[in-house]
Chain A
């Protein structure tokens, strides 16, 4: 068994940024474990642009964004072990991994950063009736096949779900000559960024059908058509509104789920809403020395924010390695109140400037996000528009928390 100071699981944007931050905070013995052949994670297949505006003040494509981080990691000679799968992670920061060439290896780390990213929700996860047949793909898989493996998925296409990957794929498929007949969204609003609705759908005259979903799929071995229905405000099918769309391919873009199987093995506590770990303001989980960042913690819409978050995790891991675990006093719980879906971190401490990431439940305009303690206002921020698809960040200066009445604060939108 090999001893390492810091082991980072995943060499996507979160893992790379966490490694850089740990290095720049004095840690030299760092190992990044990556299951794919290349570092870069999901960015490798995100060949469209729109990344980096916040971090680099430039608009980059996904592979370019990954490359900038990878270069810095290589300059610092940080070790990345590719084609390696972690099969076991324990709370004592013990890891068992399998490398394609070397075989099984065991590590004992002082600290671990979880940066495994997310996986896609599949048809099974969203209860799609009809038989399993060829021609039904998830959006991320379609993206991988098209952009990395040069495999075309079909000609006549319907996309279910208007999340960003679905919108991006609507454009990508159109550019490559496919006929994208519609994007269906069960909610009365889109889950994608405005920019993507404009540049991916409106630019190419692809209809976005809100409050619509698929109730059946038809075909023998290959998909031949789908039955679509309108839904009411309770998301129930409106009888009589069904119609058929002929298509050979249905692409599901129905969301991402943090990939936390390994975290659970290590007794990391998971938040039911985010699907990621419960974390303190230094992104440490309930297990001392195990930190989480990026999409494994909660789903982000901008990679720039993943990098920011991962830098905090890397820095905190470095601090942990150098000074050991300290039992924290003055813990304050953070609660997601009315209109707020979730807030990260869930546990904070006094004496620190804080940054919260959150999502609202519904789109709305002219709203105020308030931070309350014992129903008294301690901070607020107003927004012209709030949208579940856009993560909101709010900073809170440490002075604001000096005279708390109870050991919890609540975030609400009014």
Chain B
């Protein structure tokens, strides 16, 4: 009995580690490659041991202004998350506490928009951006990222809000709280952990978003995804420099994810365990 449980635990641990290693390896390899010389980087025999060099980072630094891209990424990911939350919170509140017959369908429909390939709306959105002067602006990218993440954010907030007993809100209503007070004094503080993990996820998604950043921005508003892309096609040897650039692009978000692991896991597994 105990031994079979123990064996099961070992098996799960082993599996978890294998999957984690499999997922983490490419990232690990990129980081490693960033410190190699270009010759080492393309060598057919993988080098695990080598003399680390910073020359790639120097090269990358000379070619592009990292901080310009990083700043754009920060503004866009934080801004889009803020904008999306601003829209999603009242929306999820209404759906969670004043559902109608169509609420469930609406939620599903919103999520289903995520299944549509982005290229499908590339031309109309590009034209709208061109005509409204939003091309290559942080505002434009921020808005599109917010819209992109809105379904997931609404869905997550909806699940978190559902966890707040409706009677608590009703008690507040009896006590004289209007909808805004209900939101501000009760719902938001009570679902703060959920809102935090939702925001984290939204920031990460916006940070990593490449398709629209590449098509809708050029020099001015380009975020870090564009920064990486700019290293993907120069002449000559470039693997090591590309790796260095990638490392610089993903480092902030990796650190953020690392620091907020607990929140993220809680947010992403929410409802799954019940």
Chains A and B are bound partners: no
